[in-house]
Amino acid sequence: MNSLSNTFSLLHLDAEDDKEQIASLTVAKDKNHATNSDKDKKTGELSGKTTTLKIDKINEESFSSSSGNYRMPLVWIDLEMTGLNIEVDRILEIACVITDGKLAKSVEGPDLVISQTKESLDNMGQWCRDHHAASGLTERVLQSTITEKDAETQVIDFVKKHVGSDTPLLAGNSIYVDFLFLKKYMPNLAAIFPHVLVDVSSIMALCIRWFPKEKKKGHQRRKRSIELWMISKKA
């Protein structure tokens, strides 16, 4: 019994020694773990930075092309019409600009005045008669020899030259109206674009609601610019 007690005593002492050894090993392990964690953290940070750089590089490459084509292109089209009635009104002018998806690159395309009959011009509403006469568009329409088909072909050639194999999105202000007229009078041009439209009037309407303070600042800056312009004219 005594021998057993002594044996257990020895085991107990050994246990204490083991505890101390285990404690020292635990501290060392914790230090190693902390060191490894720091290394892993730094490695992770470096890896994250490297990944970010790679992603940025890929994004930049996706918007550049050796052939000069515009990546994720937006085709901005603006039409002048005799009115907004798709059943009777006609296209008087079409202008086109292409940008890449980031608006970092742009190229101006055709700006074409289309020949229409004097009758269609005489049937315009009062606003269109006044506006188009003041800008000189009415007279240029009467002098033009460009048909709607000619204009459509020129714009299609311009778009295909710069967008390559990418699918362009049609963009503009209240562009859905222009799209309706393109579908009727320039269907081959309209067929280039998918149903997704980039309408900046919608974006503006949302910005006014989401950032009303910025709108107020914009009005103040514009008012100040007008005042400075008037002062410079008087001088």
Q: What is the pLDDT of residue 34?
A: 53
Q: For the beta carbon of residue 186, count every other beta carbon within 10 angstroms.
A: 22
- Establish if 115 belongs to a structural domain: yes
Q: Are residues 111 and 89 in contact, defined by beta-carbon separation less than 8 angstroms?
A: no
d(CA 116, CA 138): 9
Structure tokens of 10? 């020895």
Regarding whether 176 and 79 lie in a shared domain, the answer is yes
Q: Where does the chain have alpha helices with state H?
A: 2-62, 118-122, 126-135, 137-143, 148-163, 175-185, 187-190, 200-210, 212-234
Regarding whether 186 and 78 lie in a shared domain, the answer is yes
Region 126-138: mean pLDDT is 97
> Is the pLDDT confidence value at 28 over 70?
no
Region 16-41: mean pLDDT is 52
Regarding whether 190 and 158 lie in a shared domain, the answer is yes
Q: Are residues 144 and 51 in contact, defined by beta-carbon separation less than 8 angstroms?
A: no
More confident residue, 50 or 200: 200
pTM above 0.85, yes or no: no
- Establish if 159 belongs to a structural domain: yes
Region 58-77: mean pLDDT is 66
Regarding whether 182 and 156 lie in a shared domain, the answer is yes
Regarding whether 168 and 82 lie in a shared domain, the answer is yes
221: containing domain: 200-235
- Establish if 51 belongs to a structural domain: no
- Establish if 101 belongs to a structural domain: yes
Region 128-154: mean pLDDT is 97
**165 falls in which pLDDT band (50, 70, 90)?**
confident
Q: What is the pLDDT of residue 13?
A: 39
Region 94-116: mean pLDDT is 96
Q: In Å, what is the CA distance from 198 to each residue of 25, 191, 216?
A: 65, 16, 25
Query: CA torsion, points 114, 120, 122, 127, in degrees to nearest 10?
Result: -70
Structure tokens of 199? 């309408």
Q: CB-based contacts of 136: which residues, under 8 Å, 6+ apart?
A: none
Q: What is the pLDDT of residue 178?
A: 98
Q: Is 195 a catalytic residue?
A: yes
Q: What domain count does the chain have?
A: 2
Regarding whether 205 and 182 lie in a shared domain, the answer is no
Q: Are residues 203 and 171 in contact, defined by beta-carbon separation less than 8 angstroms?
A: no
- Establish if 122 belongs to a structural domain: yes
Summarised one tens digit per residue, pLDDT across range 84-103 is: 999 999 999 999 999 999 99
Active-site pick, 12, 132, 195, 219: 195
**Mean pLDDT, rounded, of the chain:** 78
- Establish if 209 belongs to a structural domain: yes
CATH number for the domain harbouring residue 125: 3.30.420.10
Regarding whether 190 and 93 lie in a shared domain, the answer is yes
Region 22-38: mean pLDDT is 52
**164 falls in which pLDDT band (50, 70, 90)?**
confident
What is the strand order of the sheet 169-172 is part of? 106-113, 91-99, 74-81, 169-172, 197-199
- Establish if 69 belongs to a structural domain: no
Regarding whether 144 and 115 lie in a shared domain, the answer is yes
Region 123-138: mean pLDDT is 97
More confident residue, 1 or 35: 35
Q: For the beta carbon of residue 192, count every other beta carbon within 10 angstroms.
A: 16
- Establish if 108 belongs to a structural domain: yes
Regarding whether 208 and 190 lie in a shared domain, the answer is no
Regarding whether 104 and 212 lie in a shared domain, the answer is no
